């Protein structure tokens, strides 16, 4: 819809615009798409023939196609994901009767009869067919060789991957270290990774974010969060919350 009507998805526009402001030398094609789309929206809205202080951008068909086209990395990923979805959906369609864990009568598990397998099979069958269509389109895009001339996607994915690793470590440690300590470590790691190096700005955030969240959720909203399974840490957490409760009369 966004490509055809010039009304893009809001989230992506917000992110694209902020990225544009932040990375003056990167992602020309993406910027061309983003700016081009916005300009076309504005031009469309200005159909009465008014002027504007913003320069109009006329994109050639090749420029549009190049801007719309994914980078080689994303085109490859598109193929892989479409193939994976198609494979999983086809497997589930075929194997659905075996995936019913309990109850049911075998004769009722035929494809044409109303059973627990019928409607999921229909849904996964449609999913498999649609994925094959996207797979063919993605393969065609890769073979067509249209890709953006410069791309920072590898670096961007790497940064997101590091953030994901921090999130996974956080998820693994939250029941062991408790909410406050694990959140302190996550906040410190993420803030440092995002470029915060000044100790005066760094330390208060690392302490205030977890303590405030735990206090608000546990004492005010009565949503309990994990206490550390290491007793010494748990005792400190309890003492901090008790102190804050007394301080704020909660």
Contact set for other proteins, span 123-182 (CB under 8 A)? 123-124, 126-127, 130-131, 133-134, 137, 156-157, 159-160, 162-164, 167-168, 170-171, 174-175, 179
Indicate the helix (H) or strand (E) that contains 218: none
CA distances (Å), origin 207, targets 33, 166, 185: 42, 18, 10
Does 193 sit near other proteins (CB under 8 A)? yes
Residues 93 and 128 sit within 8 Å (Cβ to Cβ): yes
Long-range contacts of range 82-89, CB-CB < 8 Å, 24 or more positions apart?
Answer: 82/131, 82/132, 82/134, 82/135, 82/138, 83/131, 83/135, 85/127, 85/131, 85/134, 86/128, 86/131, 86/132, 86/135, 89/124, 89/125, 89/127, 89/128, 89/131
Q: Which residues contact 229 (CB under 8 A, 6 or more apart)?
A: 175, 176, 178
- CB closer to other proteins, 102 vs 232: 102
Kindly identify the residues of this chain, within the stretch 107-126, that bind other proteins according to CB under 8 A.
114, 116-117, 119-120, 123-124, 126
Q: In the complex, what is the shortest distance from the CB of residue 13 to other proteins, in angstroms, rounded to a whole number?
A: 6
Binding-site string for other proteins from residue 206 to residue 235, where x marks contact by CB under 8 A and - marks none: ---xx--x---x---xxx-xx---------
Q: In the complex, what is the shortest distance from the CB of residue 150 to other proteins, in angstroms, rounded to a whole number?
A: 16
Q: In the complex, what is the shortest distance from the CB of residue 110 to other proteins, in angstroms, rounded to a whole number?
A: 13
Does 246 sit near other proteins (CB under 8 A)? no
- CB closer to other proteins, 47 vs 246: 47
Contacts with other proteins by CB under 8 A: the residue count is: 99
Of 1, 37, 40, which Cα lies nearest the Cα of 16?
A: 37
Kindly identify the residues of this chain, within the stretch 1-60, that bind other proteins according to CB under 8 A.
1-4, 7-11, 13-15, 17-19, 21-23, 38, 41-42, 44-54
């Amino acid at each position: 819809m966004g490509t055809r009507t010039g009304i893009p998805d809001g989230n992506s526009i917000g992110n694209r615009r902020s990225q544009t402001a932040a990375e003056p030398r990167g992602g020309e094609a993406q910027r061309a798409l983003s700016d081009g789309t916005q300009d076309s929206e504005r031009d469309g809205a200005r159909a009465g023939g008014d002027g504007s202080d913003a320069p109009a951008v006329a994109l050639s068909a090749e420029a549009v196609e190049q801007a719309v086209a994914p980078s080689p990395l994303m085109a490859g990923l598109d193929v892989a994901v479409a193939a994976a979805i198609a494979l999983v959906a086809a497997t589930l369609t075929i194997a659905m009767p075996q995936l019913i864990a309990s109850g049911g009568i075998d004769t009722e598990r035929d494809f044409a009869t109303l059973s627990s397998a019928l409607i999921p099979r229909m849904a996964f069958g449609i999913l498999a067919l649609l994925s094959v269509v996207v797979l063919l389109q993605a393969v065609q895009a890769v073979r067509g060789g249209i890709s953006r001339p410069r791309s920072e996607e590898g670096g961007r994915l790497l940064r997101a991957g590091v953030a994901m690793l921090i999130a996974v470590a956080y998820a693994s440690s939250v029941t062991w270290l408790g909410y406050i300590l694990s959140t302190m470590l996550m906040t410190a790691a993420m803030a440092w990774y995002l470029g915060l190096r000044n100790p005066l700005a760094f330390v208060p955030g690392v302490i205030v974010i977890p303590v405030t969240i735990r206090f608000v959720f546990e004492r005010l909203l009565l949503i309990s969060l994990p206490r550390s399974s290491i007793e010494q840490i748990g005792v400190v957490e309890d003492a901090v919350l008790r102190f804050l409760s007394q301080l704020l009369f909660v």
